Amino acid sequence: MTNSLEKVPPTFWTDVALGVIDEQYDFLALKIALSHIRIQARRGPDAARVAGEELKAIFAKYQSNPMAQGDLQKLFKKAGISS
């Protein structure tokens, strides 16, 4: 899955961090982290970019977790990205 994460444009991660792309998440760690990431992302364009990178790192870290994989697939589908 790490390869598929590298192919995703940075704007995708920023949009998820800002809540432009949103979904009902199943992975509890993601729900908790995302609440913090969204607060950070609203501080400005640079903060949104960093927040997007942080979100991507979370998915990379938990790539073997089925719930994290499911949440990522839902986000990809919503954004029209094939994995």
Query: Does 1 score more than 70 pLDDT?
Result: no
Q: How many domains does the chain have?
A: 1
Of 81, 73, 77, 72, the residue nearest 29 (C-alpha): 72
Report the pLDDT value the prediction gives residue 34, as an integer from 0 to 100.
Answer: 96
Q: What is the dihedral of CA 52, 58, 74, 1, to 10 degrees?
A: 110
Angle value at C-alpha 15, between 28 and 8, nearest 5 degrees: 90
pLDDT in tens, 20-75: 999 999 999 999 999 999 999 999 999 999 999 999 999 999 999 999 999 999 99
Measure the CA–CA gap between 67 and 72, rounded to whole angstroms.
Answer: 9
Q: Which domain holds residue 55?
A: 2-79
